[in-house]
């Protein structure tokens, strides 16, 4: 009789009195499952493993194991809920361990033939087990040694491949190609690792010093001791991109050891004090370019004293980023002392500049600018269309670079009434996060813009109202001159734009392109861009999950941001 499970198959009479029971007990009773049956099945399976043994069934009759085994192979399970439905045969599959036990079961000292060379040998505890074509056997001592060497070599190759993938991924994030470093790079890395003893080398060249300085800044190793390597009386340009570990006294050494400096860049200079700035103002008489990022310890009086000094009045390039202590009075002092001579001005993330009338003074003092950046203002209403139009009108003969990132109060008017008539010399344009400009303004700007010969650097990140029409006009206007282009998160760009560009447009000078989070970009778009941009070196596609490694692109094109690119 086959074992089966049926509903409502209980051992008690329907009219009998039942005691309290749990939900699990009631469920098992309804399914016809009892603890006695489970116990009997366990004892039955246990006795099957004993040769010649017997087992018991519900009635207490002893049955030989062979009959029980044959009967178990014919067990049927009812797959339905009713007893009259079709029943299927069921045979319990063997476990993996049981299958392995059935293949090879030998002990030490047994004579076997080698699976590799078919030579007879005596098996030992050192014999290597091997599987081939579904068969499991053992290897002779010589073949076992060879197999062990192969496994070690394969493991070593796997580790080396993993290291190589990590290096390739790291180079990809640095926007570089993984290649064998030159002898000069090896020497610079050795010097960087032994920077504390580098004075014994003597002169290593200005260019190499700058490379070492960048490596130290990247590794956060630029400190009070290593800074002395880059201080020289003949140095005219100095760039420290991480000054977080350089204290006040070491910063004074810049003016002491480099009195002929003409350009000074200090990034992350949170330890720059008022005394340092005053010392620079009294010693660096040749300073023309001054760039600071993060000097939040300099107060308002120190800024005004510096601009009133001889050094401050001679400045031609000034950059100030990330400080809350540069107030409206400081900006007025800057404009009064060196505004007419400034050729480059960058004011970014300055929270204390909150006066609209002070910003309106800019066109009255700045008349010879080549580069202007006013980005991330404290309030969006500080920078409006009238201010930018006036600045463009005053500096129309010299202005080459314009950055207005996050000046979100600007509209299409400054494009049509300011940039188009007065932007004849503009080559670099950055308008990140301008959410009020749309196809109307950008289309009018680039449509028949004959006074401008073409832009080399365009940044329209997160200008979310732009569509294919305005982007196509922009690219058609500057296709022959573009070197860098950023269209990150311009989400309304469709695939038809790239199909249109592929027919009649090429970008012979474009080397960098950012198309991140433009969902229409896929493998076919990558193939188009690879073809129409022959000098494109870096293409960023972050957030575009349809870009894969199957895209047909040039070998020398580095694609960054694909989900399939992993370490």
Alpha carbons 334 and 341: distance in angstroms, whole number: 11
Domain membership flag for residue 535: yes
Domain membership flag for residue 49: no
449, with CB counted inside 10 A (0-12, 13-18, 19+), is buried
Chain Cα centroid distance, residue 545: 14
R_g of the chain, CA atoms, integer Å: 39
Residues 307 and 319 in one domain: yes
Domain membership flag for residue 10: no
Residues 249 and 332 in one domain: yes
Give the domain-ending residue among 177, 196, 222. Answer: 177
List per-residue pLDDT tens for the chain, 567 residues long.
444 444 444 444 444 455 666 777 777 777 777 777 778 888 888 777 665 544 444 444 444 444 444 444 343 334 344 444 444 444 455 554 444 444 445 566 677 878 777 778 888 877 888 777 777 888 888 888 888 888 888 888 888 888 877 777 777 766 666 666 677 667 767 776 776 666 555 666 777 788 888 888 888 888 888 888 888 888 999 999 999 999 999 999 999 999 999 999 999 999 999 999 999 999 999 999 999 999 999 999 999 999 999 999 999 999 999 999 999 999 999 999 999 999 999 999 999 999 999 999 999 999 999 999 999 999 999 999 999 999 999 999 999 999 999 999 999 999 999 999 999 999 999 999 999 999 999 999 999 999 999 999 999 999 999 999 999 999 999 999 999 999 999 999 999 999 999 988 999 999 999 999 999 999 999 999 999 999 999 999 999 999 998 899 998 899 999 887 765
CB atoms within 10 A of CB 381: 11
Residues 519 and 545 in one domain: yes
Helix (H, G, I), strand (E, B) or coil at 53: coil
Q: What's the confidence (pLDDT) of residue 115?
A: 76
Residues 341 and 210 in one domain: yes
Domain membership flag for residue 292: yes
Q: What's the confidence (pLDDT) of residue 50?
A: 62
Q: What's the confidence (pLDDT) of residue 110?
A: 74
Q: Answer whether 412's CB lies under 8 Å from 387's CB.
A: no
Residues 245 and 295 in one domain: yes
Residues 250 and 146 in one domain: no
Chain Cα centroid distance, residue 153: 33
Q: Answer whether 475's CB lies under 8 Å from 449's CB.
A: no
Q: Which residues of 342-373 are buried (b: 16+ CB within 10 A; e: fewer)?
A: bbbbbbbbbebbebeebbebbbebbeebbbbb
Domain of 164 in residue numbering reads as 140-177
Helix (H, G, I), strand (E, B) or coil at 209: helix
Alpha carbons 301 and 326: distance in angstroms, whole number: 9
Tokens of 17: 């009195």
Alpha carbons 404 and 383: distance in angstroms, whole number: 9
Domain membership flag for residue 485: no
Alpha carbons 479 and 29: distance in angstroms, whole number: 80
Residues 161 and 300 in one domain: no
Alpha carbons 524 and 544: distance in angstroms, whole number: 13
Give the domain-ending residue among 328, 353, 378. Answer: 353
One DSSP character per residue, 341-385 reads T-SEEEEEEETT---HHHHTTHHHH--S-SEEEEES-SSGGGS-H
Q: What's the confidence (pLDDT) of residue 20?
A: 65
Q: What's the confidence (pLDDT) of residue 217?
A: 84
Q: What's the confidence (pLDDT) of residue 546?
A: 93
Domain membership flag for residue 379: no
Domain membership flag for residue 497: no
The set of residues, in sequence order, having a beta carbon less than 8 Å from that of 443 and lying 6+ positions away, is 469, 470, 473
| 35-48 and 65-72 helices, crossing angle to 10° | 120
Helix (H, G, I), strand (E, B) or coil at 292: strand
Domain membership flag for residue 428: no
Residues 152 and 223 in one domain: no
CB atoms within 10 A of CB 187: 15
Residues 223 and 268 in one domain: yes
What does the angle CA 116 – CA 118 – CA 123 come to, to the nearest 5 degrees?
A: 85
Largest CA distance in the chain: 115
Residues 172 and 272 in one domain: no
Tokens of 219: 């590794």
Q: What's the confidence (pLDDT) of residue 105?
A: 54
CATH classification at residue 231 = 3.80.10
Alpha carbons 383 and 388: distance in angstroms, whole number: 7
The distance in angstroms from the start CA to the end CA of the chain is: 60
- Alpha helical stretches, state H, 224-376: 248-257, 274-283, 300-308, 310-313, 328-338, 356-359, 362-365
Give the domain-ending residue among 154, 177, 200. Answer: 177
Residues 169 and 212 in one domain: no
Question: How many folded domains does the chain comprise?
Answer: 3
Residues 217 and 299 in one domain: yes
């Amino acid at each position: 009789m086959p074992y089966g499970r049926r509903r409502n198959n209980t051992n008690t009479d329907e009219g009998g009195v039942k005691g309290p029971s749990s939900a699990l007990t009631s469920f098992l009773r309804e399914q016809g499952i009892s603890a006695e049956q489970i116990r009997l099945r366990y004892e039955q399976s246990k006795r099957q493993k004993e040769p010649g043994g017997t087992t018991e069934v519900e009635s207490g009759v002893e049955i030989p194991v062979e009959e029980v085994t044959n009967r178990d192979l014919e067990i049927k399970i009812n797959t339905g809920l009713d007893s009259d439905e079709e029943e299927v045969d069921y045979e319990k599959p063997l476990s993996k361990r049981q299958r392995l036990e059935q293949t090879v079961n030998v002990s030490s000292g047994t004579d076997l033939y080698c699976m590799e060379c078919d030579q007879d040998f005596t098996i030992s505890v050192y014999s290597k087990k091997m599987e081939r074509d579904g068969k499991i056997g053992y290897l002779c001592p010589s073949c076992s040694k060879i197999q062990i060497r192969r496994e070690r070599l394969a493991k070593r190759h796997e580790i080396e491949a993993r290291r190589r993938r990590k290096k390739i991924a790291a180079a990809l994030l640095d926007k570089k190609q993984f290649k064998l470093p030159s002898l000069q790079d090896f020497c610079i890395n050795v010097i960087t690792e032994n920077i504390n003893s580098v004075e014994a080398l003597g002169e290593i060249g200005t260019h190499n010093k700058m490379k070492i300085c960048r490596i130290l800044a990247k590794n956060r190793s630029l400190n009070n001791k290593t800074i002395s390597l880059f201080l020289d009386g003949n140095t005219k340009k100095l760039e420290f991109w991480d000054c977080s570990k350089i204290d006040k006294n070491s910063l004074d050494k810049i003016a002491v050891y480099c009195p002929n400096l003409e350009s000074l860049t200090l990034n992350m200079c949170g330890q720059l004090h008022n005394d340092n700035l005053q010392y620079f103002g009294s010693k660096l008489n040749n300073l023309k370019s001054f760039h600071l990022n993060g000097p939040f310890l300099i107060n308002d009086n120190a800024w005004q004293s510096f601009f009133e000094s001889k050094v401050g009045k001679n400045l031609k390039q000034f950059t100030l980023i990330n400080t809350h202590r540069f107030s409206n009075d400081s900006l007025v002092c800057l404009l009064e002392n060196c505004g007419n001579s400034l050729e480059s001005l960058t004011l970014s993330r300055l929270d204390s500049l909150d006066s609209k009338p002070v910003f309106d003074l800019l066109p009255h003092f700045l008349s010879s600018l080549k580069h202007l950046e006013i980005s991330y203002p404290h309030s969006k209403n500080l920078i409006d269309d009238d201010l930018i139009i006036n600045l463009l009108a005053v500096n129309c003969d010299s202005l080459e670079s314009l950055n207005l990132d996050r000046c979100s109060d600007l509209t299409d008017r400054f494009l049509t009434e300011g940039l188009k008539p007065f932007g004849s010399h503009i080559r670099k344009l950055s308008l990140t996060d301008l959410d009020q400009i749309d196809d109307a303004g950008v289309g009018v700007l680039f449509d028949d813009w004959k006074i401008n010969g073409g832009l080399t650097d365009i940044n329209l990140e997160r200008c979310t109202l732009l569509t294919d029409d305005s982007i196509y006009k922009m690219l058609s206007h500057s296709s022959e001159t573009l070197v860098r282009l950023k269209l990150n998160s311009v989400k309304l760009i469709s695939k038809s734009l790239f199909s249109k560009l592929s027919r009649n447009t090429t970008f012979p000078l474009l080397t960098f392109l950012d198309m991140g989070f433009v969902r229409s970009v896929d493998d076919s778009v990558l193939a188009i861009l690879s073809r129409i941009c022959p000098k494109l070196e870096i293409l960023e596609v972050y957030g575009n999950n349809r870009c894969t490694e199957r895209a047909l692109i040039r070998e020398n094109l580095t694609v960054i941001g694909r989900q399939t690119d992993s370490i």
